[in-house]
Structure 1
């Protein structure tokens, strides 16, 4: 398509990480003056807070920030650069008068990014191949000194000197099981996700981005074209013509752009929480970020469970990512996977499959037995989009002038919120082939038999309708 200009009318569908980061970089750093974000959820009033009824992968309590990517060096470099910007955002918020901040940042902790460390913990007595490859890459990149192996005397000594030793074995696995293989990444940690999105939206509005965040006016029914311009049709019956439409709808992207079928699929991870009482000072202190790192247990070893330090309200989040679920429904003449959420969708769902809950409970029982008496407090499905190869998809839709897709977070996109839009803008300006990320995220196909589960379809084993769903009675532990 012809290149966009600073006065081009640009519509972005979706106010999550991909959409709001793109809008921010278009307006704040690239000078585009006519950018509008549409969303069927009022993320502004709700402040993206999932406890206020917002359903999206971006609207979460917290997200992991990590910079290790095995052999995927381009992602590692972009994540490291994003880390510097998370530091800048923390400083910018601290310097902003309280009354000027978004409401969600006025109460409680104003800090977004917490350098709590990330413990990549083996569920066996050996480190996995991916972990060893990651360490080699970090050695080549000159950042190996930020990593501490629990079984390396030199690393343990360095961890003690730098104040990280108390996070090398927070589950006391060496003491209880006689073995503990893990790597602590001292550069990593977590962010408060909903507050981060609220801050990015605040910056975008300040830069002149217009927002239509409404269940009717902001709900996109479909995207057509007239006279070589894309037209967004919303639920209030209006047509919004634009020089460029960017669909960044997360789990709703495949519903709006049929062409992504086979390239993107809507999937869900499983999340549970445990409420830690404030009057239990022993647990409150232990699971705070001062003493508790982010933990990934058995990653790529068949377990795929993670946990994040409790938030300021005592919510301890545990996620199970071994299986990413699908939910097939009719969308027009197609049967595709679509979200089934707690608040937004016609059919509601707050439960997770029993397999996922059991995996989370096993993680707690083995690693944090002191939490067993508390039981699970809540569960939910976290809907996003998987690509065929876990790389993002940011490109123009073939045969659809003026229409682009910005999606495919594949469960690891949030950390790039401060910087993702910078690379997206280059692609939207037609410079994608000149950049490493434009080439990495371009429209593509795969002839492989296994394509991240996208080949399974409605008869596959991950379909929600085939699962036994866990009820609240399953939240209690057996012992």
Structure 2
């Protein structure tokens, strides 16, 4: 439901959250001429460079995220991802051309690169291709980019992969040799980005464009959003201050539902499960095998709907030799009291849950044992929960909040939002300017409800089986293979 709102270059726009959705919105607002944009965050994402190792608790603050273009029938996301990739390319080139002192601190260390086009192997767990995969290939063909895809059982594709230098990534787990079957598609246009460096770069660009950031555990911590008599919204922070704006955009990731309890039923805070394997520096064979040059991003049985769903993803090693593996089959909830309602909220910042539920750990161990047995001897080096926000249908939620004049929500990343960091804000600004009804994304992302019995798990509530407090958490003793 769009509310009429008039914005001008001097409108005071307050954004809650300095993750991907908040950063992209702030950057595009500034670049489109809005001069008074302020971003609030309770974590100091600037001095830490979004580094998860520095204690930043956010889905955006991660070592890496997948860049993919495979979206089944959702061609609008495929197209937006392709546009984002063009800017990822530009950012790589821009970073490479700058002197060290012109870069944020985290980009002066290690590899000065955000986006690695290492390929994305969508690997099935069964003997047939899932409908989602076949629909994706039809869409790729319709868009004229089918030649970037290599289907493992297609002779023409495998021959083309040999000619173009991608054949060594078509079956990196040697499934055909070991099991006699390998159903997969390699997307040579996809890969991953170094997430924390990408966020630090986007914040750097936003600051250069004039965006102000208030990043502090009390001054930047938003505890409430009110309205005053003339309908202007006020952001209240933990230090007791009230900040009046012409528009407030809540882009708080997993914390969004806690600030906007009326969004309960449309978005829900959930946690994915992540584990890492640390490659020893005295194993150059493994460093070489799992380098981005030799190993793609891999998914295994992800959302197949064929009874073979494994819902696992993994990355090549990063520059420090860390291999990240994630489990998405079940996304966990954790309930707390918010404005008289029981709503799923993240575990408290700075009290990060280091353990993951046993089913998630077992799923990750199965992936390693079956597909990457050479990593089993090394064992796991860490586990953690990654808090983000699911929407009712896995599509984003960007719209004005019913009953809250001049307050908008920008959330619902549903585990696939990071790739759009360079481009998302372009579409968000159109919606904030009241043009959402005129764009395909404004229509897709509008405030909505569903009468369907199942709503992406949001219908379960606190009685459902995914509640974290009902799970047995895996300890380090369970890491043993």
**8 Å contact 2:261–2:339 — kept in the other structure?**
no
3-state DSSP class of the match of 1:184?
A: strand
Partners of 1:405 and 1:355 lie apart in 2 by: 33
3-state DSSP class of the match of 1:38?
A: strand
Structure 1 equivalent of residue 380 of structure 2:
376
3-state DSSP class of the match of 1:374?
A: coil
Structure 2 equivalent of residue 200 of structure 1:
202
Q: CA deviation at 1:158?
A: 0.2
Partners of 1:175 and 1:440 lie apart in 2 by: 43
Q: Which moved more, 1:101-110 or 1:297-306?
A: 297-306
Structure 2 equivalent of residue 281 of structure 1:
284
Aligned equivalent of 1:3, options 6, 11, 14: 6
Q: CA deviation at 1:358?
A: 0.2
1:270 aligns with 2:273: yes
Structure 2 equivalent of residue 139 of structure 1:
141
Structure 1 equivalent of residue 184 of structure 2:
182
Q: CA deviation at 1:95?
A: 1.3
Structure 2 equivalent of residue 425 of structure 1:
429
Structure 1 equivalent of residue 329 of structure 2:
322
1:242 aligns with 2:249: no
Structure 2 equivalent of residue 162 of structure 1:
164
Give CA deviations for 1:162-182 in whole Å, capped at 9, x if unaligned.
100000000111111111110
3-state DSSP class of the match of 1:382?
A: strand
Structure 2 equivalent of residue 355 of structure 1:
359
Q: For 1:335-354, what aligned pairs fall within 5 Å after superposition?
A: 335-340=342-347, 343-345=349-351, 348-354=352-358
Aligned equivalent of 1:313, options 314, 320, 331: 320
Partners of 1:185 and 1:456 lie apart in 2 by: 35
Q: CA deviation at 1:279?
A: 1.3
Q: Which moved more, 1:174-183 or 1:414-423?
A: 174-183
Partners of 2:397 and 2:318 lie apart in 1 by: 32
**8 Å contact 2:254–2:346 — kept in the other structure?**
yes
Structure 1 equivalent of residue 122 of structure 2:
120
Give CA deviations for 1:406-434 in whole Å, capped at 9, x if unaligned.
00000000000000000000000111011
Query: How much is the aligned-residue C-alpha RMSD, in angstroms?
Result: 0.8
Q: CA deviation at 1:309?
A: 0.6
Give CA deviations for 1:268-312 in whole Å, capped at 9, x if unaligned.
110000000121011000001010000010012310000011100
Aligned equivalent of 1:99, options 101, 117, 129: 101
Q: For 1:30-179, what aligned pairs fall within 5 Å after superposition?
A: 30-179=32-181
Q: CA deviation at 1:332?
A: 3.1
1:440 aligns with 2:444: yes
Partners of 2:444 and 2:406 lie apart in 1 by: 21
Q: CA deviation at 1:344?
A: 2.9
Q: CA deviation at 1:97?
A: 1.3
Q: CA deviation at 1:2?
A: 2.1
Partners of 1:439 and 1:294 lie apart in 2 by: 31
Partners of 2:24 and 2:282 lie apart in 1 by: 39
Aligned equivalent of 1:388, options 392, 411, 415: 392
3-state DSSP class of the match of 1:45?
A: coil
**8 Å contact 2:151–2:185 — kept in the other structure?**
yes
Q: CA deviation at 1:399?
A: 1.4
Structure 2 equivalent of residue 399 of structure 1:
403
Unpaired segments ≥5 residues, structure 2: none
Q: CA deviation at 1:473?
A: 0.9
Unpaired segments ≥5 residues, structure 1: none
